[in-house]
Each structure stands twice: as C-alpha cells, then as structure tokens.
C-alpha cells in the first residue's frame, strides 16, 4: 500500500528478543456476558494449559460485558485465587468493544482472545502466537475451514459459516478462510495502529479487523484447529448475520471510496537491513505496469466510444478533444486509486491538474496525427481515423505512464525513515536489541515465565474504554472498571 502522504507507521517485523522481564508476553482476553456457569471451568482449564505448556509469562484477562448474573463475582474470585488472572467490567455490551478496550490497555506484546466455551482445542494456542512472537506474522487466526481442521457442529451452523465466508470473498475479496472463529491473536504494535480504524463494537469486529489488515498488506497466519460446537451458545444468529451484512456494506463502501488511511499500516520490505539500503530500484514496477495497462485498455475503449459519439455532431478535432478530456479525468482517477495505490482525497485536485497537463501532451500527439492524416487525405475513412488515433494513443500511453510514475504519483517513501526507528546495539553491548515504533515506545527483552519467584502484581487502576496505556486512543462512550478483590459490597448490574 502506498500513498503520496505517508510512509507508514510500522517497522519491519522482528522477533521479540529473549530475556527476563516482569511484563507478560501473552495476554489472553476472554469476553463474557452472563457466563456464570462456564467462566470458572474455562479459566481454570486455560490457566492450567498455559502453566504446563507456554514457556513465557502470560496473563488471562476476563472482560465482563455488563453481565447481570453472578459472572462479576466469579471473575472477582478467580482474580483473587490466580495471580495471572485479571478481571475487568465494562458497562456496555459488545465483544468488539471489550477486545478493543482491554487490548488497548494491555502492555503485553502479544494480544489474543478466545471464546469462553473453549470450543477450540487449546493445543493450537502456541502455534497461534508463535509466528507473532517470531515476527513472521502480524495477526493469527484459527481456521475451522482448513482441510486439516477437525470440526464437530451442526449442518445449520456449517452452512451459515461457509456462506458468510463466500460473501466476504465475493464482496470484499477476503482471502482468509475463517473470519468468525473465536480464536485470534495480534501483535500489540499492529493493534495500536489497526484498531482505531475498526468501527464495529460487536461480532463484526473480527471480520472488519481482518479485512483492513489484509487490504493493508499485513500478514495473517492461519492455524487449522480442532473445534467442537457449543450447543448452548447464546449468539443470536439472525441478528448477528444482519449486523454482519451491514458491516460488509459499510467496509466495502469505505474501501471503494478510499476513505480508510490504510497506508498507516505499511511496513518496509523484509527485516534484513540490506533490503532497506537498496537505492534507485523501482518499487512495484511490474504490478504498476499491469494495473496501468488494464486501466489504459479500458480508458482507450471508453475514449473510442466517446469519440464515435461526439463525431456524430462535431468535427474530428473537437470530438477528439472532448473525448480525450473526459477519458483523461477518468483515467487519472483510476490510475490514482488502482495503479499507484493512492487513497483518500488528499492531493486529488493537484493530481487531476497534473493529469490534465499529461492530457495536453496526449492531445498534442493525437491532434497532430489527425492533422497529418487530413493533410494527406482530404476525406479519410472513419476506420482510418480510428487506426491513426490508436497508434497515437499507444505512444501517448507510454509517455503518460512515465510522467505518472515520475511526476504525478512519485513514491514519496524513498529516503524517508523518520517514522521507523530501528535500535542498533553496539557490538560491546551485551543487552538484546529492542524494536521501537516512533511515538509508541519499544519492546524490551521477551519475558520468560518466572520460576520459583513470586508472581508479579498487576496494576488494576481505572482505564477509560478505547484508551491505550500510552493515552493515545480515546473513546468517551464508556469506562472500563477493574473488579477489585477487596470489593465485597453488592451492586446493581445493568
């Protein structure tokens, strides 16, 4: 993804450096609403699994979505009994709202979530987060639709799930296989930039996050999972499907109009410093040529149709000028969006003005060709005029591409490194390297799970929903309140 205004905010992917620290590497969020029966068995089973198999420090965060039963009391008891468990209460419902709120407040470099019913086999958890720890991928999802997955569920849910993914593929060109599996993870540096672009606060949150990540060129790792359907699921299928279809329409319209600043998620190519030091090498030339040829072919057909229409009531020169003007405006807009990946309205007027200059050059070539034809023949056939115009337009097309690439839509990322900060460690410094994002802090060494040492205590001060630990994300719609172990008084839950 490239634009004329932003080189991107994400650094190249790097492996989280190994070492000892108190901050958990993994924060697993369990969003719940009225799950008093399933919450404790879920947390105990997940905690036992992580204790036995996960080699680094971890945390389990219970995000209570305004439950009205005894779920808050169960959360409070689990937080008291297990040092690795943290409980939060949100006063508004919405799985997406819970994930965005807790993830934004977490300092763990790897953020994950899973449904409280633990339908997914937990043996897939380490393969899910390993590519994120290694720096290979930006997001990871469990897939129930992979050929090697083993799934037990009814025909109704199977049909709905596959139909939904077909809709995503047909309408949003999604290439991931399973948008709705409640088993996902994301790197925190990616979440800090991606989540503010996600509007949905309900069940469509996952899909919107994945579609935007994929369109921005982020790498999504898929893990085949073993999954058993929960017959007691409280999800309202019809309402959820309706909301999802509305979300598909909203996201599709935003992508079509280019209103989403996905260039913020651009990464450098590769993590080898030698890749970043290559100079004067055209970026994406082959892809741009293909896109330009496709747009150019369609523009030429459009131009010839316009010329034939205008030629009915105007002379050849006037018809040529009008047809070329209209097709040039459409050609510039199409190349801006499809060939050179410029999104948003910024610079659109300037680009069209420069495109008109390029149009003037094309007009001179085609008008000169027509003038030469008329000088050679007093009454040329219409087919001859079209043949001459096609030849002239081919020459103008080559010149147009060169001018578009070098002048109208230049790659402004060349030589700009101000937003990506890579910390280099001197040879005499034995400490591990850190990976930093400008304005977002840095990751220290990858913390190991402590052995034989007291468990770290976690700060459970009040957070505001949508606000990150660094205070950058704000959403005044609600507050996130921790459930404190010492709070014994009863309260009314809405």
Q: What is the pLDDT of residue 410?
A: 82
Is the pLDDT at 475 greater than 60? The verdict is no
Burial of 234: CB neighbours in 10 Å, binned 0-12, 13-18, 19+: exposed
Q: How many residues are listed for the chain in this entry? A: 494
**Which segments within 172-251 are labelled E, that is strand?**
183-187, 220-224, 226-228
Give residue 445's pLDDT band: very low, low, confident or very high (50, 70, 90). Answer: low
Q: What is the pLDDT of residue 210?
A: 94
28 versus 348: which is more confidently predicted? 28
* Phi, psi (degrees; rounded to nearest 5) at 156: -65, -50
- 477 vs 465: CA distance, rounded Å: 7
Whole-angstrom Cα distance, residue 275 to residue 277?
6
Report d(CA 480, CA 491) in Å as an integer: 16
| Closest listed residue to residue 480, CA positions, set 456, 494, 493, 461 | 461
Name the one residue in this structure whose structure tokens are 């030698």.
Answer: 274
- CB-count exposure of residue 342 (10 Å: 0-12, 13-18, 19+): buried
Per-residue pLDDT, 18: 60
Kindly report the CA angle at 126 between 123 and 131, in degrees rounded to 5? 140
pLDDT over threshold 80, residue 487: no
- Beta strands 58-65; 139-143: pairing state: unpaired
- The CA dihedral of 148, 240, 261, 465, to the nearest 10 degrees, is -110
Alpha-carbon gap, residue 225 to 222, rounded angstroms = 9
Q: Specify the 3-state DSSP secondary structure of 85.
A: strand
Comparing C-alpha atoms, which of 160, 126, 155 is closest to residue 140?
A: 126
For residue 456, what pLDDT band results from cuts at 50, 70 and 90?
A: very low
On the question of pLDDT at 435 being above 70, the answer is: no
Closest CA to 362 of 333, 321, 332, 330: 321
Q: How far apart are CA 131 and CA 7, in angstroms?
A: 25
330 touches 302 (CB < 8 A): yes
The tens digit of pLDDT for each residue in 65-77 reads: 889 999 999 999 9
Query: What's the mean pLDDT in 465-485?
Result: 42
Measured CA to CA, the distance from residue 111 to residue 186 in angstroms comes to 5
In angstroms, the Cα distances linking 81 to 47, 57, 378, 399 are: 12, 17, 97, 72
Residue-level pLDDT at 195: 93
Instruction: Identify the pLDDT of residue 229.
Output: 79
172: nearest Cα among 243, 108, 245, 263: 245
CB 202 within 8 A of CB 163: no
Give me the pLDDT at residue 429, please: 41
- How sure is the predictor about 363, in pLDDT bands with cuts at 50, 70 and 90? confident
**Maximum distance among all alpha carbons in the chain?**
100
For residue 9, CA distances in Å to 138, 193, 216, 388 come to 14, 8, 12, 48
Name the CA dihedral angle for 281, 214, 334, 305, rounded to a multiple of 10 degrees: 120
DSSP code of 258?
T
Q: Which residues pair with 446 in a beta bridge?
A: 18
Kindly give the residue spans of alpha helices, DSSP state H, lying in 152-223.
155-172, 188-194, 205-215
Q: What is the rounded CA–CA span in Å between residue 73 and residue 204? A: 29
For the record, the structure tokens of 378 come out as 């007093």
- What does the DSSP assignment read for 28-52? EEEEESS-TTTHHHHHHHHHHHHHH
Task: Give 464's strand partners.
Answer: 479
Mean pLDDT along residues 264-289:
59
Find out whether 3 and 343 touch, Cβ atoms under 8 Å.
yes
Confidence at 60, pLDDT banded by 50, 70, 90: very high
**How far is residue 116's CA from residue 63's CA, in Å, rounded to a whole number?**
11
pTM flag (> 0.85): no
pLDDT at position 234 over 60: no
- DSSP category for residue 107: -
Count H helices and E strands in the chain, helices first. 13, 16
Nearest CA to 225 among 145, 167, 286, 156?
145
As a whole number of Å, the CA-based R_g of the chain is: 28
């Amino acid at each position: 993804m490239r634009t004329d205004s932003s080189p991107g905010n994400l650094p190249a992917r790097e492996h989280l450096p190994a070492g000892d620290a108190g901050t958990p590497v993994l924060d697993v969020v369990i969003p719940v609403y009225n799950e008093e029966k399933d919450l404790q068995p879920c947390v105990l089973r997940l905690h036992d699994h992580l204790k036995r198999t996960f080699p680094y420090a971890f945390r389990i965060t219970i995000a209570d979505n305004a439950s009205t039963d005894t779920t808050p009391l169960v959360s409070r008891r689990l937080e008291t009994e297990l040092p690795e468990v943290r409980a939060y209460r949100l006063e508004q419902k919405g799985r997406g709202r819970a994930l965005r709120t807790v993830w934004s407040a977490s300092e763990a470099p790897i953020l994950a979530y899973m449904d409280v019913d633990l339908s997914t086999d937990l043996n897939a958890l380490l393969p899910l987060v390993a590519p994120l720890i290694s720096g290979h991928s930006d997001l990871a999802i469990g897939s129930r639709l992979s050929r090697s997955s083993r799934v037990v569920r009814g025909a109704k849910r199977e049909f709905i799930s596959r139909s939904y993914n077909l809709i995503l593929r047909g309408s949003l060109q999604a290439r991931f296989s399973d948008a709705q599996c409640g088993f996902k993870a994301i790197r925190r540096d990616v979440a800090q930039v991606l989540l503010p672009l996600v509007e949905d606060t309900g069940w469509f949150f996952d899909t919107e996050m994945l579609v935007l990540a994929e369109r921005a060129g982020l790498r999504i790792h898929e893990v085949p999972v073993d999954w058993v359907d929960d017959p007691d699921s409280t999800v309202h299928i019809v309402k959820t499907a309706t909301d999802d279809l509305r979300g598909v329409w909203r996201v599709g319209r935003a992508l079509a109009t280019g209103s989403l600043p996905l260039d913020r998620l651009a990464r450098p190519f590769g993590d080898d410093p030698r890749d970043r030091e290559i100079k004067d090498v055209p970026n994406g030339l082959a892809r741009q040529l293909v896109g330009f040829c496709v747009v150019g072919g369609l523009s030429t057909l459009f131009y010839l149709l316009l010329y034939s229409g205008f030629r009915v009531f105007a002379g050849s020169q006037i018809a040529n000028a009008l047809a070329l003007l209209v097709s040039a405006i459409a050609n510039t807009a199409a190349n801006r969006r499809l060939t050179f990946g410029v999104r948003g309205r910024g610079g659109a007027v300037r680009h069209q003005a420069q495109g008109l200059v390029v149009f003037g050059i094309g007009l001179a070539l085609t008008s000169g060709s027509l003038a030469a034809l008329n000088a050679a023949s007093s009454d040329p056939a219409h087919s001859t005029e079209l043949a001459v115009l096609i030849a002239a337009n081919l020459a103008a097309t080559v010149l147009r591409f060169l001018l578009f690439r070098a002048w109208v839509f230049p790659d402004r990322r060349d030589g700009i490194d101000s937003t990506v900060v890579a910390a280099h460690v001197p040879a005499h410094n034995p400490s591990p390297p850190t990976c930093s994002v400008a304005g977002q802090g840095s990751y220290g060494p990858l913390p190991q799970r402590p052995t034989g040492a007291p468990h770290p205590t976690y700060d459970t001060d009040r957070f505001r929903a949508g606000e990150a630990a660094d205070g950058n994300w704000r959403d005044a719609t609600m507050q996130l309140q921790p459930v404190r172990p010492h709070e014994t008084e009863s309260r009314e839950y809405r």
